[in-house]
């Protein structure tokens, strides 16, 4: 029987999520990969135990995580039942809907029919009465924004979610969605964008919007699907995501220029007594608009390495300048 580390909160500080009463750990655990039916359940359980034992209170899922879709939630539900039910009130559990989940016209995008059905399914898979955060996973160009946002509001008022969030929304879309939610009385708690040293689209307006609107931010893919680790310093490993062209990372995108940048960034990380992954996480957390960084790991060792980023979050002006020069180099 799992018993959590009694000192789990001693070395973790938490960040305020926008203007809300919610705080999150600066590093949260994402279950996008490595928790599906194709993975080893015991390994997932160990990673979740290690995360919570070190003060990580936030676990992030979505309806379609797996593979197959739904299996990450189902497997998380098994682990929750075996290990975490006594600690449920110490956890922030989130899920999302917005991508294709089942066949037909009602299993995708942002209609009221889809969102209500999807969250009901998610709660059953995880064995929960409610989630702490429910996200709309991506904008729907064909459903009125008012319908999607009013559905998020409805699910909170039904007690199926405590807070709501957005993911992959642009700056202007976020402003419009936030206005609707505020008028309904269910403000947007958090936004989950893709953000890393190599993917900085959020800096073109979105981060400013989040700061101005009082919305928290949790960055996913902070290591650019593993490129911002020592794994790619000598090229593309055979067992890597790039070699398999899984997810967002395609082999052709890991060019010689990218590998050159990785090598130069790794040299700066070594001077900081950090791994490249640790520096990449710390680089995101230097901005106080970033509430948390969502890491996806395949082992307890990787998780502990990412947590090591919290030992050195400060950057000198010289370090930031060197990093910018490397990142802008074509």
Angle at 254 between CA 256 and CA 284, to 5 degrees: 110
pTM: 0.94
If DSSP codes are grouped into helix, strand and coil, which group holds residue 189?
A: strand
| 146-167 pLDDT, tens digit each | 999 999 999 999 999 999 999 9
Q: Which residues pair with 217 in a beta bridge?
A: 191
Mean pLDDT of 240-266: 72
Evaluate if residue 265 carries a pLDDT over 80.
yes
pLDDT at 327: 96
Which of 5-9, 231-235, 237-241 is modeled with the greatest confidence?
A: 5-9
Average confidence (pLDDT) over 183-200: 98
C-alpha distances out from residue 99 to 37, 118, 321, Å? 19, 10, 38
Answer yes or no: are the C-beta atoms of 218 and 186 closer than 8 Å: no
Cα Rg of the chain (Å, integer) = 19
Query: DSSP label at 92?
Result: E
How high is the pLDDT of residue 253?
66
CATH code of the region 15-227+276-315: 3.20.20.100
Whether residue 235 is predicted with pLDDT greater than 90 in this model: the reply is no
Q: Is 168 left (phi over 0), alpha (psi -120 to 50) or beta?
A: left
- One DSSP character per residue, 25-49 reads -SEEEE-SSS-STTS-HHHHHHHHH
State residue 232's pLDDT score.
75
Q: What is the pLDDT of residue 329?
A: 82
Query: What does the mean pLDDT of the chain come to?
Result: 94
284-313 average pLDDT score: 97
**In angstroms, what CA-CA distances link 253 with 22, 185, 227?**
37, 43, 10
Task: Tell which wins on pLDDT, 219 or 252.
Answer: 219
What separation in angstroms does the CA of 32 have from each of 5, 129, 151, 315? Answer: 25, 22, 24, 30
- Least confident range from 120-129, 222-231, 248-257: namely 248-257
| No. of helices (H) and no. of strands (E), the chain | 11, 10
The domain limits of the chain are 15-227+276-315
Q: What are phi and psi of 131, to 5 degrees?
A: -105, 155
Question: pLDDT tens-digit profile of 216-234?
Answer: 999 999 999 889 998 877 6
- pLDDT by residue (tens digit) across 76-124? 999 999 999 999 999 999 999 999 999 999 999 999 999 999 999 999 9
């Amino acid at each position: 029987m799992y018993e959590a580390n009694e000192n789990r909160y001693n070395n973790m500080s938490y960040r305020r999520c926008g203007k809300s009463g919610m705080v999150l750990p600066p590093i949260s655990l994402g279950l996008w990969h490595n928790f599906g039916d194709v993975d080893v359940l015991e390994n997932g359980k160990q990673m979740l135990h290690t995360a919570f034992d070190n003060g990580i209170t936030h676990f992030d899922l979505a309806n379609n995580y797996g593979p197959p879709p739904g299996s990450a939630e189902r497997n998380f539900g098994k682990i929750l039942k075996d290990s975490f039910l006594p600690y449920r009130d110490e956890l922030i559990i989130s899920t999302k809907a917005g991508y294709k989940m089942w066949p037909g016209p009602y299993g995708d995008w942002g209609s009221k029919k889809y969102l209500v059905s999807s969250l009901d399914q998610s709660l059953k898979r995880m064995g929960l009465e409610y989630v702490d955060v429910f996200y709309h996973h991506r904008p729907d160009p064909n459903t009125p924004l008012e319908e999607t946002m009013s559905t998020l509001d409805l699910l909170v008022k039904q007690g199926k979610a405590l807070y709501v969030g957005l993911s992959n929304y642009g700056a202007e879309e976020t402003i419009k969605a936030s206005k609707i939610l505020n008028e309904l009385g269910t403000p947007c708690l958090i936004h989950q964008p893709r953000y890393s040293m190599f993917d900085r689209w959020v800096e073109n307006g979105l981060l400013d919007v989040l700061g101005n609107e009082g919305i928290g931010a949790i960055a996913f893919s902070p290591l650019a699907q593993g490129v911002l680790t020592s794994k790619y310093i000598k090229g593309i490993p055979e067992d890597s995501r790039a070699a398999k062209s899984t997810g967002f990372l395609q082999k052709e995108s890991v060019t010689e220029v990218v590998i050159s940048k990785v090598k130069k960034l790794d040299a700066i990380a070594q001077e900081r007594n950090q791994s490249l992954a640790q520096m990449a996480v710390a680089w995101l957390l230097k901005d106080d608009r970033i509430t948390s960084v969502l890491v996806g790991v395949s082992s307890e060792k990787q998780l502990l390495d990412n947590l090591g980023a919290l030992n050195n979050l400060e950057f000198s002006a010289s370090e930031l300048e060197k990093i910018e020069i490397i990142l802008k180099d074509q």
